[in-house]
Amino acid sequence: MGEHQGDIALVDAPQPPPMSRLLRSNHPFRLLLYLEWILLGIALLTLFVPFPRHPFFWPHIIPGRGLKFPLGIFLSIFTLGSLGLKLPIHRSQTMKWGYTGLSMLLCWSTVLMGGRFRDYFIPMLLIVVIRACLLFPWKQRLIVASMAYGSFIIRLMTGLQRMRPPGMSRRLGSPPPWRGRGISQEWLASLQLRSALLFGLVLVFVLLMVGALLTEHRSRSELAAANHRLRQYALMIENQATLQERTRIAREMHDSVGHALTAQSIQLENVALWITQDQAKATGHLQIARTLGKDALQSVRQTVAALRNSPLQGQSLSEALMTLSQEFERTTSIPVKLSTHLETPVPKEVAEALYRLVQEALTNVSKHSQASQVVVDVSEQNASLVLTLSDNGQGFVPQQNTTGFGLQGMQERTAALGGTFSLHSQPQAGCHIHVSIPRVGGPA
C-alpha cells in the first residue's frame, strides 16, 4: 500500500518546465526586443573598434595598459537584455515597478562598477524607457522617462566633473584640468546643455514612436475583435432572418389557407346535415366548399410562388373588408356589422396588416366562439388607425389559450408595425379586440 502511494506521489509531482518554455519570450513586439539587443550590441562593439581617442576625453583608455573592461559590466548588460524575454505585462503594478527598478539599477551598476563607461549607460536607459511604454499607461511612462532623464543629467554632471588626464590628481586650490588645454568652462556648459537637449529629444522620440506602435497594435486588435463580433452578429442575423421568414410563411399559410379550409369544413358539415333532408341545399353548400377548396389551393400556390402578395389586390381597405365580411356571412351565416371611418388613404403596410387581423379574428370567431353577431370598426384616432372587433360568443380565458398561430400571429403583425394589441375575454362574455397602429409608409 505504501509503495503504491509512493508511486502516485511520484507521478503527481510537478515537473519542471522545459528549457524551451523558459526561454520563450512573451514580448508583444519582437522587433522592439531585437532593437534593444542591437543597441546593447552596438554599445559593446564601440569598445573594440580601433579609433584614436584623446586620453583626456576617454579616460578609461590608459596608455600602455589598454582597455579596462570589468566582467560585472558585461553581466549587467547581459542581464538587462535577458529581462526583455519576460515582461510582467499581466502582473501587478508592484511587480512592474519592481521590474523597472531592477532595470534602472542595472543601468547604474555599469557606472558604479566601471567608473566611466558612458557608452553603456545611455542605451540601457533608452531600453528601460521602451519597456516602460509596454508596461505602463502614459502617466507612468512619463514618470519613468523623467527618472531616466534625471539619471542622465546626474551622470552627465558627474562625468564632466571627473574628467582629468590619466595619472593627474587635482589638488585643492589648483586650477581645473581643462585650463591651459584650450577648453573653457563655457564650452563645457554648452556641451552639457546640448547633450541634455539631445537626450531629451531622443526620449520624446522613443515615447512617441513606441506609443504610436502600441496604438496601432491596439487598433489592429480591436479591429480583429470587431470583425469577429461582426461575423458572429452576421450569423445571428442570418439565423434570426431564417426563423422570422419561417414564422412569416407559417402565419401567411395560417391566415389564408387556414381561413379557407375552416370555411370549407363548415360547408362540408352543412352538406352532411342537409344531404338527406334537402339535396338542393346540400348541393349549394357543396359547391361553396368546392370554391373554397380552389381558393385554398390558389392561396397555397401564391404563397409558395410569391410569398404572398398584397391581399387587397388593388382594393381599398374598406372595400376589401366589405368583401371579406360578405364572404364570412355567406359561409358561416353569422352577421357582421362593419363600419369604417377613414378620411385619408391608409398606408399599404397598415392596410394589409388590418385586413389580416380582421381575417384571423373572423376565422377564430367561426371556429371557437359560437357567436351570433360580430361588430368590426376601423377608424382614425390621433394619427393612428384603430381596429376594434367584438363578438357575443362564449368567450374564453386568454391565459389558457392554446389555439396556436392565431392570436400569436395577430400580436406579431401589430408589433411589427409599432402598434399595440389588447384582447379582453371571459367565459360566456364574448371577446373584444383592440388594435392601434401608427400610420407608416404611403397610401395603399
Per-residue DSSP letters for 16-61?
PPPHHHHT----S-HHHHHHHHHHHHHHHHTTTS-----TTT-TTE
What domains are there in the chain, each with its CATH number?
22-164+184-232 (no CATH), 316-444 (3.30.565.10)
DSSP state at residue 237: H
Return d(Cα 52, Cα 46) in angstroms, integer.
Answer: 12
Split at pLDDT 50, 70, 90, the class of 65 is very low
Residue 389 has pLDDT above 80, yes or no: yes
41 vs 402, which has greater pLDDT? 41
Give the three-state DSSP class for 170. Answer: coil
Residue 358 cell numbers, joined: 380582421
Instruction: Name the helix (H) or strand (E) containing 278.
Output: none
> Could you tell me if 353 and 399 are in contact, meaning their C-beta atoms sit under 8 angstroms apart?
no
pLDDT surpasses 60 at 66: no
Given this model, what pLDDT does residue 247 score? 74
- pLDDT at residue 8 in the model: 35
- Collapsing DSSP states into helix, strand and coil, what is residue 422? strand
Whether pLDDT at 293 is above 70: yes
Q: What is the overall mean pLDDT for the chain?
A: 76
- pLDDT at position 169 is 44
Kindly tell me the burial class for residue 285, based on how many C-beta atoms sit within 10 Å of its own C-beta (0-12, 13-18, 19 or more). buried
Segment 247-251 shows an average pLDDT of 71
What integer pLDDT is reported at residue 400 of this predicted model? 73
Beta strands in 26-162 (DSSP E): 61-62, 66-67
Please tell me the predicted confidence (pLDDT) of residue 387. 94
pTM: 0.43
Q: Which residue has the cell 381599398?
A: 316
Residue of 72 and 102 predicted with greater confidence: 102
Contact 88, 95 (CB under 8 A): yes
Helix, strand, or coil (residue 364):
helix
**CB neighbours of 374 closer than 8 A, spacing ≥ 6?**
328, 334, 335, 336, 337, 362, 365, 389, 390, 391
Tens digit of each residue's pLDDT (9 = 90 or more) over 415-440:
888 899 999 988 888 899 999 998 76
